[in-house]
């Protein structure tokens, strides 16, 4: 094994077996003493997940992203860590934690990589949540423990090639055949699909009413082709769900919800986690830029001494602090059952926007080094191009807020 430290204080780079690995020098930043608002349990959860990310994600993630490969071995580790469906009741494999705990987990994981957070977010908010909220007792006992442990990976089928922001126009459909349902159609841009054992799929019945179906790996006519050539979320597995006369047992229909309420409630939970996760990206970019600016010498002094660099850093930590306060308050409301979809949309849109700005400014502070894989910034920038779009685009979330404050629907 050879080891070298990159120019001007980047994370230590080691090369072993032809693979590059990076140590993780991240230090937390808490300008408004937000930790005082967290419980000891919250701090312990954060420390535990952060240590796991430093040991198991950041040392390998650049190499996996360069190769556009999903580090599937992390799935079982995340199950052991307890980040899959942590708010689910203990009897179904969860930990019955509060939503601030869940948010903290997503923040720490996304600081490592948005694609890895996507895996956890989809598993918990988009697969386990609807089964727990709308499933039968038999469905909960069959699926939730395996999903919580990481033995099974799940995915969420809502978006279609021609129906993204307007899921009500979906064409996937199922017919009642007496002793089973017959499912046809396809879903697009589905995180986890090539590796999933179960998919929560939303489709219309013969009356045009939307229901959730649990589609299992191995069902005849069900395939999950992988999507390649992505420049974003390269360490995440993305694919399609294709249904060609798939026979679905009637006991695999989620009985507790119908209409768009089902999938939209799932998306609200996922968007909440994304709002926390985006802060992790912003913090990682800020931490990298601050350290680099202190160590990079130009004109006989560190570039952190120059006004324009201080301006970038000061604005970054200001926006991060505002996002932390916004999201903590949202977590309190979520725990109380009072968080509205509009509030969640605001946090998701705002926090991704400030993360994008932080990544852009950090890239400028690092100069040419900012585009290399020796730092996380360019990977974060590319990943955010997916995060800003999925589970509600930036523009859609603006219109959700607009409708909330005016009472006027601008979508139609």
Q: Return the active site residues.
A: 391
**Phi/psi at 216 (nearest 5 deg)?**
-105, 145
Six-digit token string for 225: 């082709």
Q: Is 176 left (phi over 0), alpha (psi -120 to 50) or beta?
A: beta
Find out whether 189 and 389 touch, Cβ atoms under 8 Å.
no
Nearest 5°: the CA angle 312, 381, 266 is: 115
CA neighbor of 212 nearest in space, from 267, 158, 268: 158
Find out whether 123 and 269 touch, Cβ atoms under 8 Å.
no
Is the alpha carbon torsion for 9, 15, 19, 25 positive or negative?
negative
Find out whether 172 and 184 touch, Cβ atoms under 8 Å.
yes
CA neighbor of 380 nearest in space, from 397, 351, 394, 360: 360
| 197, burial (CB in 10 Å: exposed 0-12, middle 13-18, buried 19+) | middle
> In whole angstroms, what is the distance from residue 397 CA to residue 282 CA?
20
CA neighbor of 129 nearest in space, from 173, 99, 170, 160: 99
Find out whether 134 and 262 touch, Cβ atoms under 8 Å.
yes
> Can you give the three-state secondary structure of 92-124, one letter per residue?
HCCCCCCHHHHHHHHHHHHHHCHHHHHHHHHHH
Specify which residues 214 forms β-bridges with: 200
CA-CA distances (angstroms) from residue 363 to 27, 31, 289, 368?
Answer: 19, 22, 8, 8
**Run of H or E residues at 353:** helix 341-366
> In whole angstroms, what is the distance from residue 288 CA to residue 365 CA?
10
> In whole angstroms, what is the distance from residue 275 CA to residue 399 CA?
17
């Amino acid at each position: 094994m050879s080891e070298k430290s990159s120019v001007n204080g980047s994370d230590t780079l080691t090369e072993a077996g032809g693979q590059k690995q990076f140590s993780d020098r991240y230090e937390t930043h808490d300008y408004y003493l937000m930790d005082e608002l967290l419980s000891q349990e919250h701090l312990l959860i954060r420390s535990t997940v952060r240590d796991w990310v430093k040991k198991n994600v950041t040392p390998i993630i650049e190499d996996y992203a360069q190769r556009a490969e999903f580090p599937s071995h992390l799935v079982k580790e995340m199950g052991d860590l307890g980040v899959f469906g942590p708010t689910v009741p203990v009897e179904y494999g969860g930990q019955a934690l509060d939503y601030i705990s869940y948010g903290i987990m997503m923040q720490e994981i996304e600081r490592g990589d948005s694609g890895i957070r996507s895996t956890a977010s989809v598993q918990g908010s988009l697969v386990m949540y609807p089964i727990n909220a709308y499933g039968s007792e038999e469905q909960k006992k069959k699926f939730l423990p395996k999903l919580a442990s990481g033995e099974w990976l799940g995915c969420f089928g809502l978006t279609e090639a021609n129906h993204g922001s307007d899921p009500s126009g979906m064409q996937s459909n199922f017919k009642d055949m007496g002793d089973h349902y017959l499912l046809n159609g396809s879903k697009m841009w589905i995180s986890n699909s090539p590796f999933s054992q179960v998919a929560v799929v939303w489709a219309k019945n013969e009356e045009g009413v939307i229901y959730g179906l649990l589609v299992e790996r191995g069902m005849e006519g069900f395939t999950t082709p992988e999507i390649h050539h992505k420049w974003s979320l390269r360490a995440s597995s993305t694919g399609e769900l294709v249904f060609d006369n798939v026979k679905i047992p009637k006991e695999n229909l989620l009985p507790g919800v119908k209409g768009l309420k089902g999938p939209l409630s799932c998306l609200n939970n996922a968007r909440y986690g994304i709002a926390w996760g985006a802060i992790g990206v912003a913090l990682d970019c800020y931490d990298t830029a601050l350290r680099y600016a202190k160590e990079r010498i130009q004109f006989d002094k560190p570039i952190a001494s120059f006004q324009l660099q201080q301006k970038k850093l000061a604005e970054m930590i200001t926006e991060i602090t505002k996002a932390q306060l916004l999201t903590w308050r949202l977590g309190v409301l979520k725990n109380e059952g009072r968080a509205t979809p509009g509030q969640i949309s605001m946090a998701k849109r705002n926090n991704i926007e400030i993360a994008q700005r932080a990544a852009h400014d950090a890239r400028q502070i690092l100069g040419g080094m900012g585009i290399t894989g020796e730092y996380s910034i360019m990977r974060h920038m590319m990943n955010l191009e997916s995060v800003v779009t999925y589970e509600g685009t930036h523009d859609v979330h603006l219109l959700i807020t607009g409708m909330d404050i005016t009472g006027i629907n601008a979508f139609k």
